[in-house]
Amino acid sequence: MTGRVLFHVQHLLGIGHLQRSLRIAEALVARGIAVTLVQGGPPMPEVGRPQGIDVVQLPPIRARDATFALVDMAGNPVGDDLRATRRDKLLATVAETHPDAVLIEGYPFARRAFRFELDPLIAAARAAGVRIVCSVRDLPTVRDDPARHRDIVDRLRNDFDAVLVHGDRSFIPFDVPFPPAAQIADRLIYTGYVANPAQPAAAATPSGEVLVSVGGGAAGQALLTAALEARRQGCLADRPWHVLAGATLTDDAFAALQTNAPPGVTLERFRGDFPALVRRCHVSVSQAGYNTVLDIIAARARAVLVPFSAERETEQLIRAEHLARLGAAELVRESELTPARLAAAIERAAVRDPVPLAIDMGGAVRSAAEIARLIGK
């Protein structure tokens, strides 16, 4: 290996941040760059651990629910002792690995509640002359606050060498979620979207099913309940339904879904072959998370999107509205979700083909190439 990257990633509700980071880490390893992935969320064995990546698990912190209140694995509020333990382990990892670059997922656009460990990480990297790079999705949720915007711009200009935006400028420019993007134009690098690997032709054999999915599952119970009720009331009842409830849905909630699922519905938590399922299905019904939407676009699937939009979350709604305007999906806003509205959207999607979209999905390889350039490898 030539060169090493330390990659900090923290997932809270969903698993998309972790999945995207793993794709980038895989691309770095493929270039001969060693990767230490420091993972701050709960362990996710369902996601797997790609070969060649060193994973360091911090004492986990997760979000209790859609309010994003931070708790430990026992559900207790995060205290100073846990913060200190995580910070010390993170700094020890930096000292042990001697990275050429530190890649931080989300921060400073997001994950600001983790400044207790990220600010010391940045200071240690700066003191060692290490490159610091922000890895951020196409639509970070940033509060519409001029003071917050100024703080983010100042932090990026003072401490970061580059901002890798995992999106396509021609599809959704970065000033949509972050209006002051022009002030960091010399740092911004659009990598393209970080998509799952292309599926083999065999994955396209139609299954004819209605595929319902909610990503990790922690924020998808309303959609799951509405979908099962729509099916119970006769929506596309002549087709098999396949419901993926998510790896992080509570056991009690999953058991309740099992009890109430009508005949003709297959209920599972997680499938590692999700992109292939999307490619084969008749209609995909889902939230509008980054990875799920990319799988839908790549598959040119008929799709209904019910974007997660609790609290101040805007990412999924913006993405879903954009796709609906382009004719690539049916949209049901979470605030308007009922079984009847969902059924109507599914039935509309089932009888028409979506408008195909051409967007850059080479983000993992491009991200790795840009990081290699920054560290001279």
**Between the CA of residue 342 and those of 146, 245, 307, 332, 361, what are the distances in Å?**
37, 17, 12, 7, 29
Q: What is the DSSP letter of 287?
A: -
> What confidence score (pLDDT) does residue 235 get?
97
Q: Which residue matches tokens 């530190």?
A: 102
Q: Which residue matches tokens 């941040």?
A: 17
> What confidence score (pLDDT) does residue 184 get?
97
- Count other C-beta atoms under 10 Å from residue 321's C-beta: 17
Written as one letter, the residue type at 52 is G
Contacts of 111-114 spanning 24+ positions with Cβ under 8 A: 111/10, 113/68, 113/70, 114/10, 114/40, 114/61
> What confidence score (pLDDT) does residue 203 get?
54
Using one digit for the tens of pLDDT, what is the confidence trace for 168-227? 999 999 999 999 999 999 999 999 999 987 766 555 678 899 999 998 766 788 999 999
* Cis peptide, bond prior to residue 108, ω within 30 of zero: yes
In 116-205, at which residue ranges do the beta strands (DSSP E only) sit? 131-137, 162-166, 188-190
Q: What is the sign, positive or negative, of the torsion defined by CA atoms of 319, 324, 330, 334?
A: positive
**The dihedral formed by the CA atoms of 219, 224, 230 and 233, expressed in degrees to the nearest 10:** -140
| CA–CA separation, 51 and 29 (whole Å) | 9
The closest alpha carbon to 70, from 35, 30, 41, 37, belongs to 41
Instruction: Establish how many alpha carbons lie within 13 A of residue 181's alpha carbon, considering only the half-sphere containing its beta carbon.
Output: 20
Bridge partners of 6, per DSSP, are 36, 102
Q: Which ranges of the chain does DSSP label H, i.e. alpha helix?
A: 16-30, 80-97, 115-127, 146-159, 221-232, 251-260, 274-280, 290-299, 315-325, 339-350, 363-375
> What confidence score (pLDDT) does residue 330 get?
97
Record the tokens describing residue 251, joined without a space.
């056991």
**Cβ pair 304, 336 in contact under 8 A:** no
State the pTM of this model: 0.91
The residues, ordered by sequence, that sit 6+ positions from 258 with a Cβ below 8 Å of its Cβ are 267
> What confidence score (pLDDT) does residue 182 get?
97
| CA–CA separation, 317 and 309 (whole Å) | 6
> What confidence score (pLDDT) does residue 152 get?
97
Q: Cα(first)–Cα(last) distance of the chain, in Å? A: 10
Regions of the chain where pLDDT drops below 70: 1, 46-50, 199-204, 217-218, 311
**Cβ pair 154, 184 in contact under 8 A:** no
> What confidence score (pLDDT) does residue 49 get?
63
